[in-house]
């Protein structure tokens, strides 16, 4: 099996080495293969145009980061708070900058990394 694919966005032939459960590429809404760099560009476009996006909040020894699925788009929050949530038990709020604008993200509970992000007003 050859470990290459053609990105449907940049049209470049990309090589990858599958590690664990990763495919080495993303899929768009039409199941076309998209390289991880183009995934980041598509996510940035969504952020610019829609002002909201679902990303992922991870934490390694209280060093938080907000990323897209492949990790090619990454933000280090400048502020993180935790609070109580009536259903999930805990709520994480993070604030980070994207293109000079402040964004706010919220993750509910410790059983998910999904971070609901919106451009702050």
Indicate the length of the chain as a whole number.
121
Domain locations in the chain as residue ranges? 4-119
Phi/psi for 115 (5° steps) reads -120, 115
Query: What is the H or E stretch that residue 57 is in?
Result: strand 52-60
Question: What pLDDT sits at residue 68?
Answer: 95
Report yes or no on whether pTM surpasses 0.75: yes
Give CA angle at 61 (60, 67), nearest 5°. 25
Please name which of 114, 95, 120, 119 lies closest in space to residue 57, comparing C-alpha atoms: 114
How far from 96 is each of 7, 68, 119, 121, CA to CA, in Å?
Answer: 30, 14, 9, 13
- Reduced to 3 states (helix: H, G, I; strand: E, B; else coil), residue 33 is strand
Question: What pLDDT sits at residue 21?
Answer: 63
Using 50 as the pLDDT threshold, list the residues of the chain that sit under it: 1
Phi/psi for 19 (5° steps) reads -125, 120
Give CA–CA dist 81/51, Å, rounded.
22
Query: Is the distance from CB of 105 to CB of 114 less than 8 angstroms?
Result: no
- Reduced to 3 states (helix: H, G, I; strand: E, B; else coil), residue 80 is strand
Question: What pLDDT sits at residue 18?
Answer: 64
Question: What pLDDT sits at residue 91?
Answer: 96
């Amino acid at each position: 099996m050859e470990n290459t694919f053609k990105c449907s966005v940049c049209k470049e032939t990309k090589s990858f080495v599958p590690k664990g459960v990763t495919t080495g590429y993303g899929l768009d809404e039409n199941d076309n293969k998209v390289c991880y760099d183009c995934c980041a560009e598509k996510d940035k476009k969504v952020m610019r145009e829609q002002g909201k996006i679902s990303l992922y909040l991870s934490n390694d020894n209280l060093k938080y980061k907000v990323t897209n699925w492949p990790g090619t788009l990454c933000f280090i929050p400048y502020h993180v708070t935790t609070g109580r949530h009536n259903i999930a038990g805990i709520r994480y709020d993070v604030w980070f900058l994207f293109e000079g604008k402040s964004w706010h993200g919220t993750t509910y509970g410790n059983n998910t990394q999904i971070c609901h992000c919106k451009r702050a007003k």
